[in-house]
Structure 1
């Protein structure tokens, strides 16, 4: 009795991306097998549980062997141990460095130190993310931070170059590095309603317009530190509230532009000086490190909460901030227009992102 067999021999490393995700999620082999069985893998593969367990174990072993290469993504393409198609390499890297926004929100603004890592048990309990996954994500944050913190050039581009991430993911990592460096306060109770993406958007605005690199593309560490000279110049904006004539003129211009356009006009008119002082005083304090760190809590307490209490809509906030900014250009004696626009452009964008109706 003769038999014919078709045999294929190759050296391409076979990786199942669904199983890879289970490994990234921090599941054990047995937990992953149960998930696969619940998803109908036994019927799909016409296999029994033992075969499924063996396959899962083999895949997990391959991922663990590849992990050291994923720590340095640029080396993955040049190694010879695993023959992985270039497209799949990109997927492996991207998925390995993806993170849960709820986890990133917990760590945002904290120092990426051993002490923080010790608290990951509590973070795991609060978020429902496995401890193994929390540790992987934390180590990724720390690794990216260590690699790019001393590099010259744009933060986002450096992350893309060294870790081969997509634009979106590199931008999110830039926000994490920026917050870890500047240590902005994000943990206060009044800030808990803000998501990671809210803060990431604001970080992007600060990086783009308030860092040294916003005005000088040749300096070092340009996207990590806020420009001190600019922060010092913000003190000059105090004239908008300290000069009574200028304050009154500013109010007249804003009120004229908004009359009949917003329902909260009367409240705005009555509270204009308080709202203006809140925005200007916040600017004048940013020469101090502690006040820089308190930027977001100050925005919430001094501006967002009063507007929310008076039931301003997002559209009304947008109109007010637009005309409030533009009206300063009509003040003949106000001579700090460039600093004003640079400041208010970021503040307006951040407030609109943070103002949840």
Structure 2
């Protein structure tokens, strides 16, 4: 009785970027083989479908074995099973934790629980992202959240330290962690015109200026504490905002003309920010009660630091 075996022997682990993307996108082996064949890989290497299938299966098996290490990226550099150069390790980690903005927008502000994970079928259908990929990205969100939720110190730096991500990606994860912790309402229809990057920008400003951790206390930087707003000086600050924005945004004339109503609405919103529920409804209130357009909500000038552009 004969038996055929596919054997691969080597030292440095060979990882194909194209196959890695297919694996991350949730393709099965057969679907990945079909996609690679349609991309012309058989003609480029003069290979048979059987060889392509064997190579794809081997790559998928390697990625699945690496995945447990990617859950804790610092372990990837210290393991001996896979001989992967440091620069390749960085690419593997960065791409594994890269996420789709459409998926992040759907999950933003929701509790990262089993119940939310069960709803990923609907999210997958709505966004067109494979369910397997949705689950991987959701698990990444939850993993990062659990790792840094209670840590002291700058949120972005904590994420970079534990997950070895680039500054840009770490900042996006910081926004997800912040929204998951504060549970801001972002799913209402009136807010759907705001993209993930719009809300991520707002999160960065709230983290920098409106959280306990931002002012040097021992509390985690995800803890929102807006009580420090001085309501008596809020209108004066808004005047300074207007001066800083004069001639810089298209809606300035409209905002100046409605200054009285706008300032009254903003003071009313600020007065209620000592209550958790009202904090969660901040973006809804800014749109419904203050009538602020997207261009002003996400403008790169922070209302509390009106003389300097927000970084």
User: If the length of structure 2 is used for normalisation, what is the TM-score?
Assistant: 0.86
Q: Answer with 1 or 2: which has the greater Rg.
A: 1
Equivalences for residues 176-195 of structure 1 within 5 A:
176-195=176-195
Equivalences for residues 26-105 of structure 1 within 5 A:
26-105=26-105
Match of 1:173 in 2: 173
Match of 1:201 in 2: 201
- Whether 1:342 aligns to 2:307 is no
- Whether 1:303 aligns to 2:290 is yes
Residue 127 (structure 1) shift: 0.4
Match of 2:218 in 1: 219
Distance 1:272 1:29, change over 3 A: same
Distance 1:190 1:263, change over 3 A: closer
Distance (whole Å) between structure 2 residues aligned to residue 98 and residue 138 of structure 1: 11
Equivalences for residues 1-357 of structure 1 within 5 A:
10-216=10-216, 219-221=218-220, 223-230=221-228, 233-237=229-233, 240=235, 265=253, 271-304=258-291, 342=304
**What CA deviation, in whole Å up to 9, does each residue of 1:336-357 have, x standing for no partner?**
xxxxx627689x97xxxxxxxx
Residue 183 (structure 1) shift: 0.1
Structure 2: stretches of 5+ with no match in the other structure? 1-8
CA contact (8 A) 1:234 1:283 kept: no
Distance (whole Å) between structure 1 residues aligned to residue 25 and residue 307 of structure 2: 39
Structure 1: stretches of 5+ with no match in the other structure? 1-8, 242-246, 309-313, 326-340, 350-357
Distance 1:236 1:174, change over 3 A: same
CA contact (8 A) 2:227 2:274 kept: no
CA contact (8 A) 1:237 1:280 kept: no
CA contact (8 A) 2:226 2:273 kept: no
Distance 1:262 1:57, change over 3 A: closer
Q: How many aligned residue pairs are there? A: 299
Distance (whole Å) between structure 1 residues aligned to residue 267 and residue 34 of structure 2: 58
**What CA deviation, in whole Å up to 9, does each residue of 1:319-347 have, x standing for no partner?**
xx98xx9xxxxxxxxxxxxxxx627689x
**What CA deviation, in whole Å up to 9, does each residue of 1:58-94 have, x standing for no partner?**
1000000110000000000000111111100000000
**What CA deviation, in whole Å up to 9, does each residue of 1:145-193 have, x standing for no partner?**
0010111111110000000000000000000000000000000000001
Distance (whole Å) between structure 2 residues aligned to residue 199 and residue 172 of structure 1: 10
Residue 264 (structure 1) shift: 7.9
CA contact (8 A) 1:151 1:158 kept: yes
Distance (whole Å) between structure 2 residues aligned to residue 54 and residue 41 of structure 1: 14
Which one is further off, 277-286 or 70-79?
Answer: 277-286
Distance 1:273 1:293, change over 3 A: same
Distance 1:345 1:202, change over 3 A: farther
CA contact (8 A) 2:210 2:226 kept: no
Distance (whole Å) between structure 1 residues aligned to residue 58 and residue 150 of structure 2: 39
**What CA deviation, in whole Å up to 9, does each residue of 1:290-338 have, x standing for no partner?**
1111111111123345x69xxxxx6xx69xx98xx9xxxxxxxxxxxxx
Distance (whole Å) between structure 1 residues aligned to residue 285 and residue 266 of structure 2: 9
Residue 212 (structure 1) shift: 1.7
Distance (whole Å) between structure 2 residues aligned to residue 200 and residue 94 of structure 1: 19
CA contact (8 A) 2:124 2:131 kept: yes
**Residue 290 of structure 2 aligns to a residue in which SS?**
helix
Q: CA RMSD in A?
A: 3.2
Distance (whole Å) between structure 2 residues aligned to residue 47 and residue 175 of structure 1: 46
**What CA deviation, in whole Å up to 9, does each residue of 1:263-299 have, x standing for no partner?**
985x666633211111221111111111111111111
